[in-house]
Amino acid sequence: MIGKNSWEKGMCTIELTGRQEQIVQIVKANSPITGERIASLLNVRRATLRPDLSILTMSGLLGARPRVGYFYSGKRPGLLAADAVRRLTVDVVKAVPVVVREGTSVYDCIVALFTEDTGTLFVVGESGHLEGVASRKDLLKVAMGKDNLRRIPVQVMMTRAPNIVTVRGDESVYEAVRRLVEHEIDALPVVEQETVDGRDVLKVTGRFTKTTVASIFLELGE
């Protein structure tokens, strides 16, 4: 599961102190303005404002140019939230992947969907690297037939490369969500590339799902 602390590492919370709000108003009215001038207007030392100015520039509310000063970005809180989503990486929010071997039967895969409370299984070979993906829909199609599900290995019906849509952990959450929507899928395997015996393979390090997106949306709302 994704803990709240993880979100706090990757996303900025727009909650200003009284002095920070004063700084924003001063900059809006006097852009561009130096840090020394802001300190003078607030009757405090420049060093006292350094933490506040750092927070305001890192959050995106204020911009800063060397030898020019601070200026108001004009961004609304909604745009700042969008910036946070673009800066947030998949590694910060990914969940533990649910993995099965290629030889696992369709029956056991369906059981895994329920016991692991997931909608997508990532199929790996003997080396442990990604070989395919089996979604709830894929398994349902097979289950509707009259074949013995205990005798059909998942590798027969899984989606294989190059048709597997993946995402790297260092990519943005925005990019991951875009791929979910564009390809109309429920989950992405989070992968990192490795070279084994001269062959490029993918190691599964996590999963990014529609539930992940809902958690991000809920966090933004709160």
List of domains in the chain: 4-87 (1.10.10.10), 91-221 (3.10.580.10)
**What's the pLDDT at 54?**
81
The number of C-alpha atoms within 13 Å of 49 and in the hemisphere containing its C-beta is 24
Rounded Cα gap, residues 119 and 128, in angstroms: 20
Instruction: Provide DSSP, 109-125.
Output: HHHHHHHTT-SEEEEE-
Q: What are the structure tokens assigned to 123, written together?
A: 């199929």
pLDDT of 51-62, one tens digit each? 888 878 877 788
Q: Which residue has the higher pLDDT, 77 or 49?
A: 49
User: Could you tell me if residue 43 is left (phi over 0), alpha (psi between -120 and 50 degrees) or otherwise beta?
Assistant: left
Say if residue 3's pLDDT is above 50. no
In this structure, the chain runs to a length of 222
What is the mean pLDDT of the segment spanning 43-47? 90
Interval 9-41: pLDDT, tens? 344 445 678 888 899 999 999 989 999 999 999
Residues 6+ apart with CB under 8 A from 95: 1, 2, 206, 207, 208, 209, 211, 212
Contacts of 45 (CB under 8 A, 6+ apart): 39
Q: Give the chain's mean pLDDT.
A: 85
Give the Å distances, CA to CA, from 43 to 18, 21, 36, 48, 165. Answer: 15, 15, 10, 10, 56
| pLDDT tens, position by position, 155-191 | 999 999 889 999 999 999 989 999 999 999 999 999 9
Query: Does this model's pTM top 0.75?
Result: no
